[in-house]
Amino acid sequence: MKEVTFGEAMKRKYPEWVVLVVTTDAQGRVDVMPAGWAMIVSGKPPMFAVAVGHTRYTHELIEKGKEFVIAFPSPGMEAATLYCGTHSGRDVDKIAETKLQIAPAKRVKTPLIKGAVINLECRLDSATRSGDHTIFVGEVLASHIEESVVKHLVNFGDNHFAVARPA
């Protein structure tokens, strides 16, 4: 067995699921950031966690707004996912630039992403600083599915997104 750097080892972790973290600023402008470091952390009550880098605009918006939506992108959202991950919401309107469509949420002010396989409305429960990221845990207040879509995108690394295929 060969010892390598952490970064080199992590190149072999793909594919991993990707989610879209949806937030809003004080003026109601929507921001979307893809994240791979996300997971279910509780069933009762339902909770979902996502790790967000301290320098990211999404980090600032979650801290200020105390809520977020987790959307699982569906096939056809590859280009939008890539765009949202390579541009900052501080500088561009990602919804306008990607043509992602939004829908009102039921329990939070942050909107849902139309066509996403799953949308989870989350109210911030806790935040734990962990190295260069903060792990935001949200209590899931409402869950939504897109009935016509069952497969979601996964990240294969190097900005390649696709639907996973069983081995």
Q: What is the pLDDT of residue 100?
A: 96
The answer to whether 126 and 51 are in contact (CB under 8 A) is no
The fraction of the chain above a pLDDT of 70, given in percent, is 98
Which pLDDT does position 167 carry in this prediction?
A: 64
CB atoms within 10 A of CB 56: 19
- Taking only the tens of pLDDT, the chain with its 167 residues reads 999 999 999 888 888 889 999 999 999 999 999 999 999 999 999 999 999 999 999 999 999 999 999 999 999 999 999 999 999 999 999 999 999 999 999 999 999 999 999 999 999 999 999 999 999 999 999 999 999 988 888 888 877 888 877 66
Show the domains of the chain with their CATH numbers: 39-92+104-131 (2.30.110.10)
CA distance 111 to 103: 6
Structure-token pair, residue 114 = 């139309």
Nearest-angstrom CA–CA distance, 145 and 74: 11
As given in the structure block, the two tokens for residue 147 are 């009935």
Asked if 94 and 77 count as a contact pair (C-beta separation under 8 A), the reply is: no
Instruction: Return d(Cα 135, Cα 125) in angstroms, integer.
Output: 11
Read off the DSSP letter of residue 28.
Answer: -
- The Cα–Cα gap between 50 and 110 comes to 16
pTM of the model: 0.94
In the prediction, which pLDDT does 164 show? 74
Is 15 exposed, middle or buried (CB count within 10 Å of its CB: 0-12, 13-18, 19+)?
Answer: middle
The Cβ-side half-sphere exposure at 144, using a 13 Å CA radius, reads 21
